[in-house]
A and B are shown apart, each in its own frame.
Chain A
Amino acid sequence: GAGVSQSPRYKVAKRGQDVALRCDPISGHVSLFWYQQALGQGPEFLTYFQNEAQLDKSGLPSDRFFAERPEGSVSTLKIQRTQQEDSAVYLCASSFSRGPGQNYGYTFGSGTRLTVV
C-alpha cells in the first residue's frame, strides 16, 4: 500500500485481556519499528525489526509485550494480561534505510489507541 496501515484504530480491553495490534508497512521497507506514545508524551521506542529479524527489543516494558514479523512484512505487537498502564497509542513505522549513511527517516502509521479499563 501507499502508507503504513495499522489496525485496529481503537481498542478497548478489559484488564487482564490479551490484545494483538497489527502493522502493515510500506512495501519494500526492510526496517519496522514499534513505538508507544502515552498521553502528552513523545513516542517511545519499543522494538525494531530488520526484515523478519528482531534486532532490538530493548524498549519493551515487560515480558507481557511480544512482537513478531514472521515473513518480514506484516508485524504484530501482542500484549498479554493488559494493565491500565498499557493504555497508550501504539505507533508503527517503517523505513527504507538499509545501512549507515542511508537515513531516510520513518513513515508512521496512524496508530492504535489502546484503552485498558
Chain B
Amino acid sequence: DQQVKQNSPSLSVQEGRISILNCDYTNSMFDYFLWYKKYPAEGPTFLISISSIKDKNEDGRFTVFLNKSAKHLSLHIVPSQPGDSAVYFCAASAYTSGTYKYIFGTGTRLKVLA
C-alpha cells in the first residue's frame, strides 16, 4: 500500500517555462511535507517544505501548494532552468515513535530542455 504517490515518472519542460510536479497521499495523519531533489550518485537534498496548517509556501523559484481535502501537493518551478534537471521526490510525515518519519514517493524525473 503506497501512502505517497508520484504518478508521473518523468516530465520534460522547455527552459523558462513552468514545471509542475504532483504528489498524492492517502494518510490523513500526515502533517508535514517535503520535496527533495536528487542528482545521480548523490543523496537527496532538501528543497522546500510545507506544514499542514498552510496551503502554500514559496522559496525563490520554487512554490509548493497543499490541498488537504484532495490529499494532493504540487511543486511549481518558475522559470525552469537546465540545472533543475534531476529526480524530485515528495515525502510526507507524521509524528511517530518520537520523531517525524518520512514516507517517500517513487520520484519524478524532470528534464529541462535548453
Which positions in A face B, CB cutoff 8 Å? 4, 6, 31, 33, 35, 40-45, 48, 50, 55-56, 91, 93, 95, 97, 99-100, 103, 105-111
Interface residues as binary, B45-85 with A (CB distance below 8 Å gives 1, 0 otherwise)? 11001010000000000000000000000000000000000
Given A40-B106, A103-B51, A106-B102; A48-B97 close (CB under 8 Å): yes
A91 to B45, CA, bound (A): 12
A108 to B38, CA, bound (A): 10
Q: Is the interface of B mostly helix, strand, loop or mixed?
A: strand
| Cross-chain contact B106 with A42 (CB below 8 angstroms) | yes
Number of A-B contacts (CB under 8 A): 67
- 9 A-B residue pairings within 8 Å (CB atoms): A31-B99, A42-B6, A42-B104, A56-B97, A56-B101, A91-B43, A95-B100, A105-B49, A108-B45
| Cross-chain contact A106 with B98 (CB below 8 angstroms) | no
| Cross-chain contact B44 with A108 (CB below 8 angstroms) | yes
A100 to B94, CA, bound (A): 9
| Residue from A4, A91, A105 within 8 A of B34 (CB atoms) | A105
